Amino acid sequence: MSEWRLYEVFVRSKHGLNHKHVGSVHAADAEMAMENARELYTRRSEGVSIWVVPSDTITASASDEKEVLFDPSEDKVYRHASFYKLPDEVGHM
Amino acid sequence: MYAQLVETGAKRLKTKEEMSPEEREFQEKVDAETKIEAKNWMPEGYRKTLIRQISQHAHSEVVGMLPEGNWVTRAPTLKRKLQLMAKIQDEAGHGLYLYSAMETLGADRDEEIEKLHQGKAKYSSIFNYPTLNWADMGAVGWLVDGAAIVNQVVLQRTSYGPYSRAMIRICKEESFHQRQGYQILLDMMREGTEEQKAMVQDAINRLWWPALMMFGPHDDESPNSQQSMAWKIKRKSNDELRQMFIDQTVPQLEFLGCTAPDPDLKWNEETGHYDFGEINWQEFYDVLKGNGPCNRERITTRKKAIDEGAWVREAAVAYAEKQKQRSQAA
Ligand SMILES: [Fe+2]
Ligand SMILES: [Fe+2]
Ligand SMILES: [Fe+2]
C-alpha cells in the first residue's frame, strides 16, 4: 500500500460551516480517496461535503515557529473591535 | 489494554537538570497540557513509544474483527447480523484512524503491519480467545468493548494530538458496541430457554478474566510506566483502570442475573470499591507471547487477507495509472 498516495480528508459537517480536517486515507487515486473517506469518516452522517487533498501538496507552518510567524498579529491590537472604546451613549455597536 | 506492554526505552526518569534545553521545553509543554503535534520537536523516545503504542492499538482493532467475524454468517436474525457487521466495520475504521495517527509520526503502515505478521508487534491478548457460542457476541460487546471504553475515554486526554483526536472519534462510536452487546445478553436472559441462559453464563465464565487482563500487568515502579505517565501518553495506571471497569461492570452483571467466575469478588464498604481475586498472570504472559488458543490462527488469517488481496491493490494502481494517462492524452 506504500505505492498508494496519502490524502488528507476535510469534512463540512453542516451547511454553512467550514470544512474541517478529520484525518487521512490511502488511495490509488483521488476518486478512490473520496470513496474511502466517505466510508471511513462519514458513516453516521457526520458530513454534507468532503474534500480530499494529496498530503504531499500541503505546505504547513511548523507549529514551533509560533513567534516568527504569528508575532506580527500580537502587536496589532487595533485589529480587534475591543481596541476602540466608545462612549456608553453610543449604545451597542 | 489494547496496548498492554509498551517499551519506552527509558532506564529511569531524567531529572529536569539532566534534560537538554529542548527536552525541558518539551516536558514543560506536556506538563502544561499543551498537545504535541506532528511537526513539533519531540524526544526520540517519545516518538518511538507512541509508534509502538498506537500500532499495537491499531493492530488490536484490526485483529479484533476476527472473533466477531466468526459469527456474521451465524447470527440468529437479520437484525443481529446487520448490527454485528456495523460494529465490525467500525472496528476496521478504528484501526484506520489509529494507523493514520501513527503515520503522522513518520512510521509506515505497511512496515508496521509486516511487523505484526512476523510476530514482532503485539496486539491485545483478548483477541486470542475463541468465540464459541452466540452469547460470546454479547459478552464481547459488553465486556471487551466495555473495557476498551474505560481505557479509551482516559486516552482522549493523551498528550499527542493526533492520537487524542483519534480516541475522541473512537469513543463516540464505542457506546453503540457495548450497548448492542449487553442487549444481546439481556434478551437471552429475559426471553431465552434454559439452554440459552446457560450459554450467557458460559460466555461470561470464559471471557471475564481475559477481559480483566486487557488492562495489562500490575503497575510497578517500572521505568516504562513511569516514563509513559511523565510524558502523559498514559494518564491512569493499569490497576486504576481495571478497578474502574470492575466497579461499573458488577452492577450490570447482577442486573443480568449472572455471576462472575471469581469467589473473591465482593463489595468493600470501607474502600467503596469491589475487591476481586488475583489474575492468572502466567496465562496472560503465555497468550502475549503467542501461545494463546488462537494466536496462530489470527495471524494466519490476517496474512491470508493481505496476500490474497494483493491483486486487488495492484489492479487499483494499474487502473489509476491508466486513467491518468487518458486524461493527460485528452
Ligand atoms: Fe474499537
Ligand atoms: Fe474494540
Ligand atoms: Fe468497539
A/B interface, count of CB pairs below 8 Å: 50
More confident residue, B330 or B291: B291
Share of chain B above pLDDT 90, in %: 87
Interface of B with A in 250-269 (CB under 8 A): none
Contact flag A64-B39 (C-beta cutoff 8 Å): yes
Burial letters A44-78, b for 16+ CB under 10 A, else e: eeebeebebbebeeeeeeebeeeeeeeeeeeeeee
With CA atoms as reference, the chain B residue closest to A55 would be B104
Contact flag A23-B100 (C-beta cutoff 8 Å): yes
pLDDT, averaged across chain B: 94
Contacts of A3 in chain B (CB under 8 A): 317
Q: Which of A3, A23, A32 sits opposite B97 (nearest CB)?
A: A23
Contact flag A28-B319 (C-beta cutoff 8 Å): yes
B61 CA to centre of ligand 1 in angstroms: 5
Contact flag B320-A26 (C-beta cutoff 8 Å): no
Contacts of B169 in chain A (CB under 8 A): 22-23
Say what the ipTM of the complex is. Answer: 0.85
**Residue B6, pLDDT score:** 74
More confident residue, B297 or A93: B297
DSSP secondary structure string for all residues of B185-223: HHHHHHH--HHHHHHHHHHHHHHHHHHHHTT-SPP-S-H
**Residue B147, pLDDT score:** 97
Q: What is the pLDDT of residues B63-90, one digit of tens each?
A: 999 999 999 999 999 999 999 999 999 9
> Residue B160 in contact with residue B39, Cβ under 8 Å?
no
Q: What is the pLDDT of residues B198-235, one digit of tens each?
A: 999 999 999 999 999 999 998 876 677 889 999 999 99
Share of chain B above pLDDT 70, in %: 98
Please give chain A's pLDDT, 93 residues, in tens: 457 899 999 999 999 999 999 999 999 999 999 999 999 999 998 899 999 999 999 998 866 655 666 766 667 777 888 888 888 988 888
> Residue B151 in contact with residue B1, Cβ under 8 Å?
yes
Interface of B with A in 163-182 (CB under 8 A): 165-166, 169, 173
